[in-house]
Copies of this chain bind each other. A is one copy, B any other.
Amino acid sequence: MNNFEFQNPTKIVFGKGSIARLSDLLYKGEKIMMTYGGGSIKKNGVYDQVKKALEGFSVIEFGGIEPNPDFDTLMKAVEVCRKESVGVLLAVGGGSVIDGTKFIAAAVDFQGDPWNLLVKRAEPGEVLPIATVLTMPATGSEMNGNAVISRRATKEKRDMGHPKYFPMFSILDPEVVYSIPKRQKANGLIDAFIHVCEQYLTDDVDAQIQDRWSEGVMKTIVNIAPEVIKDNPTYDACANYMWSATCALNNFINPGVNQDWSTHMIGHELTALCGLDHGVTLAIVLPGTIRVLDKFKRKKLEMFCENVWNLPDGKGDAAADFAIQKTERFFNSLGVKTRLSDYGIGEDVITEIVRRFRERGAVLGEHGIVTPEVAEQILRNRL
């Protein structure tokens, strides 16, 4: 096991009816900016629940944060925060709203161009406190210090991370899952599943708790997915889905292990260039990553076959075959296709992605084994 540091200060308030708890958790003295997305919270009742809980608080609103939150949109919110002396940010939404709100929180006090918080991983100054009401389980952003921000003007999608970006608390009411469309639930399940893969399908460092816990999250996701994507899923399926997605990326499964994240980095480019849903990009790329990096990941692929898919025969060369077959079938069972050609994407996009990685000097994956050339192999495998 590698040496590690771990700290996750976010408080979680989980369960049905927990949105009403907002009034105990926020301070009345601070001006709150409530951020949200395209308005689905006004249809599913979450907006009303939040507003009711915050009666008597000083609240301004900033709606319209788009999926893959856009730098230019967020900078408008930053201006409002500065003008209105906002003291706390309350993100009501999924990963895009929460990520965007983390960026707003960091940018308000930042000296210089806030885009450097992403591309240069610049050290933030004072970061506004953030709280969240999660409406879409997927990214884990409600309990970590990371965010991914897009810039449509330049077709870029970049990430940032810092201990100051952890929410002070997050409210997770699984009943919000009832109204999520099937496509989004499928994306969320895949996103969470692949978050675990990026922290587990690496080289083996004999970190047994972390391995068993990663397998536990993946088994749970596979087990609950058929119920979750139904029109009227049970409460417990929704609760297990919501907690799985949080635990897939709250650092509980990754202390002391090597991580990969090349599938995500390549996927971000597919979203930036072609507009594909995040979960879809991951479902496309992961099988290629497994295939091309098979030898590096061999021991973990064997564990994956045996402990997640109950396939003790998945040993040696068969491990990658079985792993790819099972994961692709799982993604397909959720209605998600897993080839670039399924989305009309061809060689020109691969060429542009490889050009960008070369330009940035990107070395991805555990131990930097995913050079631009390896990324090209991964993408060609998915044509």
Interface residues in A220-262 (C-beta closer than 8 Å to B): 220, 223-224, 236, 239-240, 243-244, 247, 252, 255-256
Assess whether B243 is in contact with A209, with CB atoms less than 8 Å apart: yes
Measured CB to CB, the nearest residue on chain B to A170 is B6
A7 contact from B9, B15, B16, B220, Cβ within 8 A: B9
A215 is an interface residue with CB less than 8 A from chain B: yes
Interface residues in A1-21 (C-beta closer than 8 Å to B): 1-18
A57 is an interface residue with CB less than 8 A from chain B: no
A14 contact from B4, B8, B215, B244, Cβ within 8 A: B4
| Set of chain B residues within 8 Å of A240, measured between Cβ atoms | 1, 206-209
Nearest Cβ in chain B — how far from A119, in angstroms?
29
Measured CB to CB, the nearest residue on chain B to A206 is B236
A110 is an interface residue with CB less than 8 A from chain B: no
Measured CB to CB, the nearest residue on chain B to A246 is B209
Assess whether A15 is in contact with B9, with CB atoms less than 8 Å apart: no
A217 is an interface residue with CB less than 8 A from chain B: yes
Measured CB to CB, the nearest residue on chain B to A216 is B212
A243 contact from B1, B7, B11, Cβ within 8 A: B1
| Set of chain B residues within 8 Å of A9, measured between Cβ atoms | 7, 9
| Set of chain B residues within 8 Å of A220, measured between Cβ atoms | 208-209, 212
Contact with B along A1-44 (1 / 0, CB 8 A): 11111111111111111100000000000000000000000000
Nearest Cβ in chain B — how far from A26, in angstroms?
15
| Set of chain B residues within 8 Å of A206, measured between Cβ atoms | 236, 239-240
A330 is an interface residue with CB less than 8 A from chain B: no
| Set of chain B residues within 8 Å of A16, measured between Cβ atoms | 3
Nearest Cβ in chain B — how far from A164, in angstroms?
14
A217 contact from B11, B209, B217, Cβ within 8 A: B209
Assess whether A224 is in contact with B243, with CB atoms less than 8 Å apart: no
- Bound CA–CA A75/B60 (angstroms): 52
Assess whether A209 is in contact with B5, with CB atoms less than 8 Å apart: no
A219 is an interface residue with CB less than 8 A from chain B: yes
A1 contact from B10, B239, B256, Cβ within 8 A: B239
A62 is an interface residue with CB less than 8 A from chain B: no
Assess whether A13 is in contact with B5, with CB atoms less than 8 Å apart: yes
A residues with a Cβ closer than 8 A to B are 1-18, 174, 206-209, 211-213, 215-217, 219-220, 223-224, 236, 239-240, 243-244, 247, 252, 255-256
A sample of 12 cross-chain residue pairs with beta-carbon separation below 8 angstroms, ordered by A number, consists of: A1-B239, A2-B15, A5-B13, A6-B12, A7-B12, A14-B256, A15-B256, A206-B236, A207-B239, A209-B216, A243-B256, A252-B252
